Amino acid sequence: MKVLTVVGARPQFMKAAAVSNVIREKDQEILVHTGQHYDENMSKVFFEELQIPKPDYNLGVGSGNHGKQTGTMLIELEEIYEKEKPDIVLVYGDTNSTLAGALCASKLLIPVAHVEAGLRSFNMNMPEEQNRILTDHISKYLFVPTNTAEKNLKNEGIKNGVYNVGDVMYDSVLRISKLAKENSRILEKLNLDDNDYILTTIHRAENTNDPKRLKNIIGALNESGKKVVLPLHPRTHKYMESYGLAFASNVKVVEPVGPLDMIALEMHSCKIATDSGGLQKEAFFVHKPCITMRDETEWVETVENGWNILVGADKNKIIDGINNFMPTSKQEEIFGDGTAANKIVEII
Ligand code: UD1
């Protein structure tokens, strides 16, 4: 069996880290990196630290508007699919690389397997929501991480080929947290104490591209009265400069960090405030309260279980969440048992 995997952005590297090596135990994998993320600290460091096999192809697509970015990927991927003739194409999550990988395969009648299928925010303005829905509807194998994701697919009439296998990110985090404990020196490097800071990330287009929302979020962090550590996504940096926004001295801004340092920062934080999908789950995996700066979430179970709270881009709610939110219930097993990758490979 020849599996062709398409990755392109950080969250996909995290997921491929769990699955690629399992595929290669018995089958052949061709790994294609679209180059959507290209900075060393957003790409190369993930491959090195997570021991992901070296990509067979790097399309070097880089940044650009959605049409250009996705379109360039389609053109390049078609040539590779024609040459490699894979039995199946594997895509992850909801980025433009996911949609391009799936759409190109579907047009060539190559079966598509979608890992992290069925997630919905019900906000069609998000590029990720468009990518997810389109990808799910052209996939033959839909690997859902949660019960809610399975229900979402059923509601859209997708019943065949759906497998509830748990979340591959859980597999990854279990492995990476061990590596991080042994190898990360980020706390010393940033001069941080255990349980003494709020770890924050902001990068979603819905927040960065709207000056009012971004101003509220930065204002809340500045006025939170807490030490905040923020690995800054280049997109957020760019928009902050163009809106004339700046951080106060309680916010320690650092370059994007590699996966081991990120998990270490998560494990030693007191709380996590984010607009990322992946980080909401990672907060749950490392047992930290999560304050989500969005109006909706795909990971509703974490909210229902009391470990995640939605505060939107409302300044007062963010400050209140940072200072007062504390889970009171025990964690439930929402994301499977950490063996999702093995199940996926067995099924395909
Ligand atoms: C993408 C995904 C998002 C995912 C995120 C993880 C889409 C539509 N969005 O968003 O779902 O949560 O990845 O990080 O696919 N840039 C760099 N260096 C890089 C990569 C990006 O400087 O290596 C800058 C560029 O200025 C670029 C901007 O970041 O214009 C946005 O990058 P892009 O890949 O388009 O989307 P993300 O915001 O990273």
Give average pLDDT by consecutive 10-residue segment, the chain, 348 residues.
97 96 97 97 96 97 97 98 98 98 98 98 96 98 98 98 98 95 96 98 97 98 98 97 98 97 98 97 98 97 98 98 97 96 97
37, 38, 96: residue to mutate for ligand 1 pocket, most atoms within 8 A of CB: 37
Q: For residue 90, what is the enclosing H or E element?
A: strand 88-92
Tell how far the Cα of 160 is from the centroid of ligand 1, in angstroms: 32
DSSP string, 97-132: HHHHHHHHHHHTT--EEEETTT---S-TTSHHHHHH
Which residue's CA is the nearest one to ligand 1's atom 33? Answer: 63
How far apart CA 42 and CA 58 sit, in angstroms, is 15
CB of 161 within 8 A of CB of 141? yes
Q: Where are the domains of the chain?
A: 2-164, 182-324
pLDDT at 126: 95
**Separation of 289 CA from ligand 1 center, angstroms?**
26
CB 159 within 8 A of CB 153: yes
Provide the β-strand partners of residue 89. 4, 112
CATH class of 182-324: alpha beta
Contact between 277 and 298 (Cβ < 8 Å)? yes
Two tokens, residue 317: 């709610």
Active site residue 37: no
Beta-carbon contacts of residue 234 (< 8 Å; ≥ 6 apart): 39, 42, 256
CATH level 3 topology of 2-164:
Rossmann fold (3.40.50)
SS3 316: helix
Q: Which atom of ligand 1 is nearest to the CA of 233?
A: 29
Same fold, 2-164 and 182-324: yes
Of the residues 203, 233, 237, 268, only one is catalytic, namely 203
Q: What's the CA-to-centroid distance between 51 and ligand 1, angstroms?
A: 22
Q: Indicate the top mutation candidate among 203, 207, 210, 275 to test ligand 1's pocket, ranked by most ligand atoms within 8 A of CB.
A: 203
Angle in degrees, 0-180, between the axes of helices 96-107 and 66-84, rounded to the nearest 10: 40
Secondary structure element (H or E) that encloses residue 58, with its range: strand 57-58
What confidence score (pLDDT) does residue 346 get? 97
What six digits make up the tokens of 114?
Answer: 């979608």
Distance 36 CA to ligand 1 centre (A): 7
Q: Measure the CA–CA gap between 262 and 255, rounded to whole angstroms.
A: 11
Q: Which atom of ligand 1 is nearest to the CA of 208?
A: 38
Distance 157 CA to ligand 1 centre (A): 31
User: What beta strand segments (E) does 178-307 contain?
Assistant: 198-201, 228-231, 251-254, 271-274, 290-292
3-state secondary structure of 259: helix
Cα separation values, 109 from 75, 102, 138, 199, Å:
16, 10, 10, 44
What pTM did the predictor assign?
0.95
Ligand 1 atom with the smallest distance to the CA of 11 is 6
Q: Give the three-class secondary structure for 152.
A: helix
Q: Within 6 Å (CB) of ligand 1, which residues are found? A: 9-11, 36-39, 42, 63, 94-96, 127-128, 203, 234-235, 238
Cα 125 to chain center, whole Å?
18
